[in-house]
Structure 1
Amino acid sequence: MENGALTQGEGKDPSGWLSEIIGHPVTVKLNSGVVYKGELQSVDGYMNIALEKTEEYVNGAKRRSYGDAFVRGNNVMYIAAD
């Protein structure tokens, strides 16, 4: 670390960022490749995720829409803010 700059993966805690994007649109990709897009309502320390106004995409094609969706954290590959 030079001049106080953080290197990738050093000293970053994602919980602060995740709490900042509550209520915002996100993309959640699962280990299976399925993608959910919706409004982030909550996320816990296990990466369990609650979404509203959710759309499910399989192989890039929209498959279903859900009012609410709950994703178990061990299935999550990543969460991205839209």
Structure 2
Amino acid sequence: MSTFEPVNPKPFLKTLIDKKVIVRLKWNQTEYSGILVSTDNYMNLHLEQSHEIIRDSDGNKTAEEPLGEIFIRCNNVLFIREDTTMKEVEME
């Protein structure tokens, strides 16, 4: 059985700067992917080369729209993670 180990969010976010990330919002199934440019003391996120990813109720991707540069306020974020799919494509 694995045990949950909490991660301090500020150092974790700093490790993601200049990497491609996926940010899921609390509302519906909306996600944003892009390169994390910066974060502040409130954990707001600044992304470049971003895309909005919309999923249906089953979790399947229904649309992906390019947005460019965006700012996501911290209280809207459900989770953020590194986008590992890009690394897999680059390695092949």
TM-score under structure 2 normalisation? Answer: 0.72
Supply the AA of the counterpart residue of 2:34. Answer: G
Aligned residue for 1:64, secondary structure, equals: strand
Supply the AA of the counterpart residue of 1:49. Answer: L
**Corresponding residue pairs, total:** 75
Classify 1:65/1:7 alpha carbon distance in 2 versus 1 (closer, same or farther; 3 Å).
closer
**Which residue of 2 is the match for residue 52 of structure 1?**
48
The one of 12, 16, 41 equivalent to 1:21 is 16
**Which residue of 1 is the match for residue 86 of structure 2?**
none
Unaligned runs of 5+ in 2: 56-60, 84-92
Indicate the larger mover: 54-63 or 28-37: 54-63
Structure with a larger share of its residues in helix? 2
Aligned-residue offset at 1:46: 2.1
Q: Are 1:29 and 1:36, in contact at CA under 8 Å, matched by a contact in 2?
A: yes
**CA distance in 1: counterparts of 2:65 and 2:81, whole angstroms:** 20
Q: Are 2:10 and 2:43, in contact at CA under 8 Å, matched by a contact in 1?
A: no
**Which residue of 2 is the match for residue 65 of structure 1?**
66
| Identical aligned residues as a percent | 33
Unaligned runs of 5+ in 1: 1-5
Aligned-residue offset at 1:37: 0.4
Alpha-carbon RMSD: 1.7
Supply the AA of the counterpart residue of 2:71. Answer: F
Supply the AA of the counterpart residue of 1:38. Answer: G
Supply the AA of the counterpart residue of 1:8. Answer: E
**CA distance in 1: counterparts of 2:5 and 2:63, whole angstroms:** 33
